[in-house]
Amino acid sequence: MKKALGRLAILAGSAYLLASVWLYRSQRRMLYYPQPLTVVPRAKTFAIKSNGVRRQGWVINPGQTQALLYFGGNRESVEQCEEFFRRSLPRTSVYLIPYRGFSGNPGAPSEEALFSDALADYDYVAARHAGVDVMGRSLGSGVAVHVAVNRPVARLVLTTPYDSIQSLAQEKYPLFPMRLILEDKFESWRRVPQLAAKTMILIADQDKVVPRASTDRMISHFRAPPQTVVIGNADHSSIIATREYARAIRKFLTRSRRRRAAQAAC
């Protein structure tokens, strides 16, 4: 009996070790889901090179004084956002730059690469506009927070944000030490206390991908409570199709801009 139990323990330990190794080696395939180029936008095309990778992007409503730099979600093809931003923010130049490996761009995504590329994206946009706001959705919320901490961003919009990818992974795989396994942790909760940007958070009340608890944990680390908007009858994907979503973004960005302009004129 003892020998049988010993063999079972060895088998269970070996299976656990193999599963841990598999998670480690597969983590980026499981974290990133690059989508191909789905449509060719009618917007102005440009290219930006960072860390040896040349990526293509598009600018909606070019030539405006104010710009918005948008970082999309994991399964999102940002080029599909063209009409949304063209209608919602006609007086803002909106920059859609797919991550490396996404929408036909070369390279392989990683936290380090996405963060470095995002800062280069901001610098490219800031050199062409008087002010730059930043917006990130889902995976892109962590990228947007990193940019807003490291660059002068006036307004920050975070859609369905998480406290960290690590915590989401730990909830999904509770038996494994994800803190040790994960290389790309996207720990936004560590960065948000450093934020100076006026921030709005958009939450889908039926989100099953990023649970409300994860977003609330991130919010708890802000120095001052951010503006929070909960979109009813929406999940992680459908939130972007609601009228409330577009209205909240437009109101937050344009009202804040008008208020700042009025203050400067006084």
Question: Over the stretch 125-170, which tens digit does the pLDDT of each residue have?
Answer: 999 999 999 999 999 999 999 999 999 999 999 999 999 999 999 9
Q: What is the pLDDT of residues 163-220, one digit of tens each?
A: 999 999 999 999 999 999 999 999 999 999 999 999 999 999 999 999 999 999 999 9
Evaluate whether residue 197 is within a structural domain: yes
Evaluate whether residue 99 is within a structural domain: yes
Number of domains composing the chain: 1
Evaluate whether residue 8 is within a structural domain: no
Burial class (CB in 10 A: 0-12, 13-18, 19+), 116: middle
Evaluate whether residue 63 is within a structural domain: yes
Residue (of 152, 143, 141) closest to 195 by Cα position: 152
Evaluate whether residue 65 is within a structural domain: yes
Give 230's strand partners: 203
Sheet with strand 131-137: strands edge to edge: 44-50, 53-60, 93-96, 66-71, 131-137, 155-159, 198-204, 227-231
Evaluate whether residue 25 is within a structural domain: no
Give the predicted TM-score (pTM) of the model: 0.91
Domain of 186, CATH number, reads 3.40.50.1820
Evaluate whether residue 13 is within a structural domain: no
